[in-house]
């Protein structure tokens, strides 16, 4: 099993869904955590579950001032950060762009893409000073293929893939690996909120995947652990798709 002992991981959107699964998996592998989320209650619940070696921070990753003011003191005290997981994301309502409000478009861009820029910009200098690190960007199968009514989300996740490649080239010489993970549809509270229940989500989206079901958060967390571990030191500037065969069709 990959060992993250003595590592510090910063995870955005880490109190719910895939982010929470990654946080718990990395913690079990020995990493100390700095978990950022907009939900104070979800952060308190996660901290209670894990018990120790976790610092939580309520912040909006789309606001650079909020990111710097909230995280700089924490990183100074508990860092340096060895692993950054850019996971925070938002989903717009299903609509063609002619029916999408400009603030909905801007919100998707600012959280899903610009938030990753802000956090990466914050931690890269101290990663360089510390001899390197790993940045894992959570993209999506919808960064590779599109669906109707999701132009904003598809655009931001495609942008994350290019951001990953560009950042990897910029910082390979600094011993910083930058990789992306593209999930398919995964059984998370967000999906339940959209469809009303896990069963309805499974019936609607499971058959679209050749394996015949939704992904599970722990499957993404296990893959994420591999990508940030010393077992993947020759992997950078690329993306691993974990989508049950969806994009193979």
- Of 24, 33, 110, 153, the catalytic one is 153
Residue 153 annotated among the catalytic residues of the structure: yes
Distance CA 70, CA 97 (A): 34
On whether the CB atoms of residues 33 and 54 are closer than 8 A, the answer is yes
> 182: which strand partners?
241
Distance CA 42, CA 44 (A): 5
The separation between CA 137 and the C-alpha centre of its own chain, rounded to angstroms, equals 5
Greatest CA separation for the chain: 50
Q: Is 113 left (phi over 0), alpha (psi -120 to 50) or beta?
A: alpha
On whether the CB atoms of residues 229 and 2 are closer than 8 A, the answer is yes
User: Which of 92, 104, 87, 82 has the alpha carbon at shortest distance from 23?
Assistant: 87
User: Which of 213, 228, 241, 216 has the alpha carbon at shortest distance from 140?
Assistant: 241
**ω before 108 within 30° of 0 (cis)?**
no
Distance CA 189, CA 172 (A): 36
Residue 54 DSSP one-character state: E
Distance CA 230, CA 80 (A): 18
Q: Which residues are catalytic?
A: 153
């Amino acid at each position: 099993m990959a060992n993250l002992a003595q590592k510090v991981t910063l995870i955005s959107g880490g109190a719910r869904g895939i982010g929470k699964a990654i946080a718990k998996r990395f913690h079990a592998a020995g990493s100390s955590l700095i978990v950022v989320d907009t939900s104070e209650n979800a952060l308190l619940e996660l901290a209670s579950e894990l018990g120790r070696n976790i610092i939580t921070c309520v912040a909006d990753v789309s606001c650079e001032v909020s990111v710097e003011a909230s995280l700089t003191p924490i990183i100074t005290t508990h860092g340096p950060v060895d692993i950054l997981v850019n996971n925070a994301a938002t989903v717009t309502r299903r609509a063609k762009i002619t029916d999408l409000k400009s603030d909905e478009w801007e919100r998707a861009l600012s959280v899903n893409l610009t938030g990753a820029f802000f956090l990466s910009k914050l931690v890269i200098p101290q990663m360089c000073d510390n001899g390197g690190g790993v940045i894992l960007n959570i993209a999506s199968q919808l960064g590779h293929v599109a669906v109707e009514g999701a132009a904003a989300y598809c655009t931001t996740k495609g942008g994350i893939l290019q951001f990953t490649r560009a950042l990897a080239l910029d910082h390979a010489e600094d011993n910083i690996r930058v990789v992306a993970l593209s999930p398919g549809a995964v059984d998370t509270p967000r999906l339940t909120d959209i469809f009303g229940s896990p069963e309805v989500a499974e019936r609607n989206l499971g058959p679209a995947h050749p394996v015949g079901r939704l992904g599970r958060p722990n499957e993404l967390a296990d893959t994420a652990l591999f990508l940030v571990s010393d077992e993947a030191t020759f992997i950078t500037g690329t993306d691993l798709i974990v989508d049950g065969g969806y994009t193979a069709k």
